[in-house]
Structure 1
Amino acid sequence: MKSILLIGLGRFGKNIAMKLREMNHEVMAVDRNEKRVNEIMPYVTNARIGDSTDEEFLKSLGIRNYDLCFVAIGDCFQDSLETTSLVKELGGKLVVARAASEVQAKFLKRNGADGVVFPEQQIARWAAIRYSSDHVFDYFAMDDDCAIFEVSVPDNWVGKSVGELNIRKRYRINILAIKADERIDMNITSETVLTAEENLLVLGKNKDMQKCFRI
């Protein structure tokens, strides 16, 4: 369990708060909008109404006491930048801020952000890949060149073993697990035979994935 400060309770911040609650973390949520604070109360440990660009207000939160500080402000980049800078100056151990562009990310990092997330870009990329292909069921980018895909077993792989297909050498792709009926089996050997009822969790470079699975 970690102690987390979450600043900004728009749709992105609210969803972070709800997920952190599922993970049993202690969350202090902050926003200047009273309605947003009231709505998030059932999902967090505590919540405060206040201006995160006000240094005295931030000091009252005890920034050094949190393991992680999320700056999830999305409606005003100036406020996000000032908040990020102040949180770091006041002793934020790990400060993660939301950005809408690479330019914003550069400014945030220069002003104290240890990490930056791009919610709009990330979900847009995921949706484009997920729904433009009939046999891709999920997608997670590791970096700009490498990703994990959940894909159906290609027709010409059905009934063949992993060793027989020689997937790693032939396609430069690693099978991490096999998913069937929402159960995940990570015990993959060269003798494992693939079936049409299964999905594969595979890791590789995007260009090799596109070529192999016609994404």
Structure 2
Amino acid sequence: MKLKSDTKQFAVIGLGRFGSNMAMSLYKMGYDVLAIDKNMKKVQDFSNAFTHVVQADSTDENALRELGILNFDVVVVAIGEDIEANIMTTLQLKEIGVKYIVSMARSPLQIKVLEKIGADRVVAPERDMAQRVAYNLASTNVMDYIELSDEFSIAELVIPRAFINKTLVESNIRAKYNINVVAIKRGEHLIVSPLPSEVMHENDVVVVVGDNENINGLEKLK
């Protein structure tokens, strides 16, 4: 299967809700996307949605090789309902030498298995979304929250009143809380990598990266 060689290429296996939305997002961003599903009806439903859409059994090594799966920079295993097919597909991709494998998981045990067999990244959409919504509901200061690991996260926080009209250096965020401010959202304007002299205003939202405990401490400030 020939694809353009001048852009990053993705393959998405599984056209359920997560897989189809992932493929659609990548395609809209201008990337080549090969979408694969075992179910012919799903293939027909998305026949004109992506660069290529094919029906294939992703647990079959020969089928994957025939699709030229090794030509893709990233392969996303988005099979949700059939856990065995999800794991076997990830294993086959690893065995034949795919460059970068992202696999979807629905349980802690599945996450461990996928990591053990060599998935480069494991995502758990239901868990991750639940965490983001929970943080948003629990705190009026948290706009969004993404856990990067068990210890570190990135969060969008409404500026605490104590920091209004102060510069980043005056607020002492980095020294006192060991948190890095990577951006400031001011209405429709985004200030990336703000200078220490940048003044924070009322209604600003800071995008911070740091230790989970320190972020929690910062978001509780009034």
- Report the TM-score, using the length of structure 1 for normalisation: 0.90
Aligned position for 1:61: 67
**In percent, how many aligned pairs have the same letter?**
37
Match of 1:99 among 76, 100, 105: 105
Match of 1:175 among 158, 181, 192: 181
The amino acid of 1:133's aligned partner reads S
5+ residue gaps, structure 2, are 1-6
The amino acid of 1:181's aligned partner reads G
Aligned position for 1:161: 167
The amino acid of 2:150's aligned partner reads D
Report Cα offsets for 1:73-117 as digits up to 9, x if no partner.
Answer: 000111111112222223322222111223212322333423211
Matches of 2:136 and 2:17 in 1, distance apart? Answer: 22
Q: 1:31 to 1:187 in 2, by over 3 A?
A: closer
Matches of 1:82 and 1:35 in 2, distance apart? Answer: 22
Instruction: Please tell me whether residue 20 in structure 1 is matched to residue 20 in structure 2.
Output: no
Aligned position for 2:133: 127
Instruction: Please tell me whether residue 110 in structure 1 is matched to residue 116 in structure 2.
Output: yes
Aligned position for 1:203: 209
- How many residue pairs get matched? 215
Aligned position for 2:38: 32
The amino acid of 1:40's aligned partner reads F
Matches of 1:189 and 1:54 in 2, distance apart? Answer: 53
Q: 1:194 to 1:37 in 2, by over 3 A?
A: same
Query: What's the RMSD between the two structures over aligned residues?
Result: 1.9
Judge conservation of contact 1:88–1:112 (CA < 8 Å) in 2. yes
Matches of 1:38 and 1:141 in 2, distance apart? Answer: 36
Aligned position for 2:88: 82
5+ residue gaps, structure 1, are none
